[in-house]
Each structure stands twice: as C-alpha cells, then as structure tokens.
Amino acid sequence: MFKIGQKVVCVKTHSQGIVKKGNFYTIYNINNPGCCGKIFVDVGIKMDEDKTLMCSTCRSEIHTKEIHWISSALFSPLEHDFTEEVLKKALQQINEELVPIFN
C-alpha cells in the first residue's frame, strides 16, 4: 500500500498526539514486524533513544532504533494529481496577489 518516499496525510491523530490528523508526512521507511499483520511506517518522528515499543494489537515488541514507528492505519496516500492541482492553484493565487505589489 505504501512505498518509501511517498507523501501521505494523517487521517487520525495518534493516541499520544505524535502525529495529528490533517498534517502531511513523507514515508521514510516501512516496518512489518510480522506480529499481527500490522504495517508500521517511519514518517520522520525520532525518539531520543532506542526503545522497545509494544504493538497495541498483539503486544509484540518492536525495537525502534530511535525511530517512532507509527501504524500505517493512521495515514492515507496523497493522490499525486490532486496534490499537484492544489499546489498549482495556490501558486497561481499567490502570483496574482503579488503582481500588484511589484507594479
């Protein structure tokens, strides 16, 4: 479902607020610990130290290596065409607003 380098949007705030609904992230790594079929993703949230986390579903241990692994269920892929269209419209609007300032 996800791939490294993919842009995603958070669709549900993490129970500890680590990621928040509506914020955009990039997938840096993917972890399938094989415990209960859950997929965890690295979206660039780091921990101060190596820790062992527990899977919230099956309570298996997940070694972090300073990465805060987060359930992929909290994210949805961004549609490339939709994202590109929104950015184009935003840039166009910014350019239209700036033209009078410089003329």
Q: Each residue of 35-93: pLDDT tens digit?
A: 667 788 999 998 877 667 766 666 677 666 788 889 899 999 987 656 667 777 788 88
- Encoded tokens for 16: 């500890």
Per-domain residue ranges of the chain: 7-78
Q: Is the Cα torsion angle 36, 41, 45, 50 positive or negative in sign?
A: positive
Q: Tens of pLDDT along 2-28? A: 899 999 999 999 988 999 999 999 999
Strand partners, 46: 67
Q: Are 74 and 91 in contact (CB under 8 A)?
A: no
The DSSP annotation for 43-93 comes to -S-B-SS--EEE-TTT--EEE-TTB--EEGGGEEEPPHHHHHHHHHHHHHH
> According to the model, what pLDDT value does residue 64 have?
67
Side chain identity at residue 12, one-letter code: K
Spatial distance between the Cα atoms of 26 and 15, rounded to a whole number of angstroms = 20
